[in-house]
Structure 1
Amino acid sequence: MAITAALVKELRDSTGAGMMDAKKALTETDGDMEAAVDWLRTKGLAKAAKKSGRVAAEGLVAVAVNGGKGVAVEVNSETDFVGKNADFQAMVGKIATAATGVDTVEALAKTEVDGKPVETMITDAVATIGENMSLRRMTVVEGETVVSYIHNSVTDGMGKIGVLVGLKGADNGIGKQLAMHIAAANPAALSEADLDAAVVEKERQVQIDIAKESGKPDAVIEKMIVGRMKKFMSEVTLLGQAFVVNPDLTVEAAAKEAGVEITGFVRMEVGDGIEKKEEDFAAEVAKAAQG
């Protein structure tokens, strides 16, 4: 029986298996859909589908640097326990190393590591470890020098928060200090020019509304808004923030004093932006009893 793309898609949709696994299952079973599902189950490849609906908001962020290119990669799991698993850590480390050779998370998913695509490696790990996992994102930072830092690392090069800093000029020790600052201060952008215009406008409108409540003349209100927006910029942009190592200097001034220019950065935190479903234990038991 001919194995069509439609058959492969149907099997993938029903089991969550990868495209090549689904195609192989159909080939092995001569296109018999039910038998193909059983084939995948016996190989542990359909097991991943049963886990795919669960929220994976834990896991690890890993960083890797190769020359003037640094990458930060997030691989998620359902529980923090998996992040402490040596096999999971080894897998994430290999994925981060592979990421230095690509520029997008989509390309990374297709990149072969140990003879199989990263996406298949993760699917296999789901079947082995028994939790939903996902390759969520990767970010690239480039510069003459790229410095990496992991806050509260669980092992070399990975933990809950990963930071990369791109510098123009030679790092003389300032790179790690800047990275540690970024981990602690969590700036929204490098400079005012890099901030989302919608975020700036929203903050400006909030400050206008607050200032109008004061009942002061328009000329005074305008000065108030200018001052408050300047303060806002100093709090959310990396270059404008007070340097944690020496609060008398801005980060921009500290970098200049050290003879470098910051050209880019990334701060990646596990689970950032993922909506975690909270459900108390009693409700979970009640739901299970009803089912």
Structure 2
Amino acid sequence: MNRNQQTIQSPVSCTGVGVHSGKIVNLTIKPAPVNQGIRFVRTDLPGHPAVAAHFNNVVDTSLATVIGTEGCIVSTIEHLMAGFFGMSIDNATVEVDGYELPIMDGSAGPFTSLIKSAGTQAQDGPKCYFKVKAPISLSENGKSVTVYPSDEFRLTCSIDFNHPLIGKQTCDFIIDRETFQKEICSARTFGFLHEVEMMKRYGLGRGGSLENAVVIDGDRVLNEGGLRYSDEFVRHKALDCLGDFSLIGMPIMGHVVTQKSGHAFNHAFLEKFFTEKESWDTVTLSADSK
């Protein structure tokens, strides 16, 4: 685990389409000072308003994770946030000229490559963690999220779809930069063809295509080349979970176990996490920490 906060070394940019809006959007990531966190700036709006990437600013979780404040919203942030988390970036300013981030290939892979190309800069400020002392759990209608004490950040995700191509899948990782890049960041979002067609009829998913999602039709994966991992579906849920949990503001030293969770339930768990302050401490790692 890092003992110092980190930002990127130099600005980097990309351009892509918003999966729901279908609009082209330009995104630039810039270095940021110690203790700023991740901050989104809408360069297309008067005065360039900004919103911090924090769970208190989440305004919608129905189709993606959306943050907003005082009329400034930024949508579909979870894949970029997973990239920041997986690459241990604590502070960055993200400038975007639209309300929705580009979907890229439907994973965090392109954002991770972008962050990697920018380089990582250690900063003169200690990195703080939430160290879990006692289990915290939320469950409802077969969905659950629990975090257990651990000296590292471990994530176990399980999904259960009544579909022959998916079924029950579980992945379990101790998260570090290498594991994130190799095992998680390239897992793409997925959906069923009938759902995609319905969304388009209602004016959603205008930018969705086989270039940015795994699409299932009956018992077939429609994407040329098939899946990137045999269990790509649950790995993408793990990716989403990392993006959502990054909104807590500091990394967790604990073992997070999720069952059939999604953006809305992850957000509900973060709210509960902060009501159980007796179950965690905030810590910084000293120079002699192992």
TM norm structure 2: 0.23
TM norm structure 1: 0.23
Normalized per residue, which structure has more strand? 2
Bigger Cα Rg: 1
Normalized per residue, which structure has more helix? 1
Higher RCO (C-alpha 8 Å, min separation 6): 2
